[in-house]
Amino acid sequence: MNNNFLPPPAWFDTAIEIVEFARKQRRAEDFIADARLRPQIIGQSYSYRIDVLEQLVRSQIVNILDDRLTVGSSFDAEWFDVALKSGNSKAWELASVLGNKRAIEKKFNSEALKKIGDIGEAFIFKELQRHHPVELHSQIDHVSTYDDTLGYDISSPSIANTDNTLLMEVKTSVRPISGKFDFFLSRNEFNVGLSNRQWCIIAVSIVNSTPIVIGHLYCYQIESRLPHDIDESAKWASCKLSIEVDAFRAGLP
């Protein structure tokens, strides 16, 4: 398989079935026998299913030991990385079945997270330009491109009230959204939000390479959930939040 090629949904469906076989350590012979019974149609045929199995073995996602299918310990295939980081829903379904959360988390180092964040910020910047008339475009400032210490990413007139300038912190995720949106918030970002009522968070979800706006919320909506320092010698610097999707107001502010 070309590492830069993302498999189609039918490929992932078959891969998920194979991994489920492997999690139960079933015999490869049983999978092959089952594959022979499948209809000769694209995405389900014997040859297709065997090809997917061989690709998974080459990628070390699945191993065959003494005719037993087992889940591999290395998920370093580049195509899998690309699929996960582009928010491919089928790839995340496969990741869930694989069950090795630590191996998946290791794929998202600071460099990968920054790239994902940059995509979300660029998307929101363009969305603001799309919503605002041209004469206001000069007031839309993507500040994080030249200063990442301000505690927000974009300053822009509000869509609801162009006389009001908002400070927007964009949070972007490629993970499936199932009721809650997860993101990290720095102490600096939170402090800026506390001192500026114009500060808000914009949530962006990347699904199958397409960014979409989940919504926005303000600091007062999450203030009570943030940690509290209990000793001067220990202060929190960053925390992970899981906020209900229903808590976000629809669209851009």
- The pTM score is 0.89
Which residue stretches of the chain are H helix? 9-23, 28-36, 46-58, 78-85, 89-98, 101-105, 110-131, 187-195, 219-222
2 has a pLDDT exceeding 50: no
Distance of CA 50 to the CA centre of its chain: 30
Tokens encoding 118: 């940059």
Average confidence (pLDDT) over 162-186: 96
Whether domain 9-105 has CATH 1.20.1260: no
> What percent of the chain lies above the pLDDT cut of 90?
80
Tokens encoding 127: 């969305």
244 has a pLDDT exceeding 80: yes
Where exactly does CATH 3.40.1350 map onto the chain? Answer: 110-247
Measured CA to CA, the distance from residue 127 to residue 204 in angstroms comes to 12
Measured CA to CA, the distance from residue 192 to residue 199 in angstroms comes to 7
- Helices then strands, counting H and E runs in the chain, come out as 9, 8
Between 141 and 40, name the one with better pLDDT.
141
- pLDDT bucket at 241, cuts 50 / 70 / 90: very high
Instruction: Check: CB of residue 227 under 8 Å from CB of residue 238.
Output: no
Average confidence (pLDDT) over 120-127: 98
Give me the pLDDT at residue 4, please: 53
Give me the pLDDT at residue 76, please: 80
Measured CA to CA, the distance from residue 144 to residue 154 in angstroms comes to 7
Which span out of 5-9, 32-36, 124-128 was modeled with the highest average pLDDT? 124-128
41-100 pLDDT per residue, tens:
877 899 999 999 999 999 899 999 999 999 987 788 888 999 999 999 999 999 999 988
- pLDDT bucket at 3, cuts 50 / 70 / 90: very low
131 has a pLDDT exceeding 70: yes
Measured CA to CA, the distance from residue 82 to residue 88 in angstroms comes to 9
Average confidence (pLDDT) over 236-240: 94
3-state secondary structure of 172: strand
Measured CA to CA, the distance from residue 243 to residue 224 in angstroms comes to 12
Q: Ramachandran region of residue 161, left (φ > 0), alpha (ψ -120 to 50) or beta?
A: beta
Measured CA to CA, the distance from residue 224 to residue 219 in angstroms comes to 9
Measured CA to CA, the distance from residue 153 to residue 140 in angstroms comes to 11
Q: Which residue's entry shows tokens 């912190």?
A: 169
Where exactly does CATH 1.10.10 map onto the chain? Answer: 9-105
3-state secondary structure of 57: helix
Give me the pLDDT at residue 103, please: 83
Which 8-state DSSP code applies to residue 111? H
Give me the pLDDT at residue 57, please: 93
Question: Considering the domain 110-247, what is its CATH architecture?
Answer: 3-Layer(aba) Sandwich (3.40)
Average confidence (pLDDT) over 96-117: 90
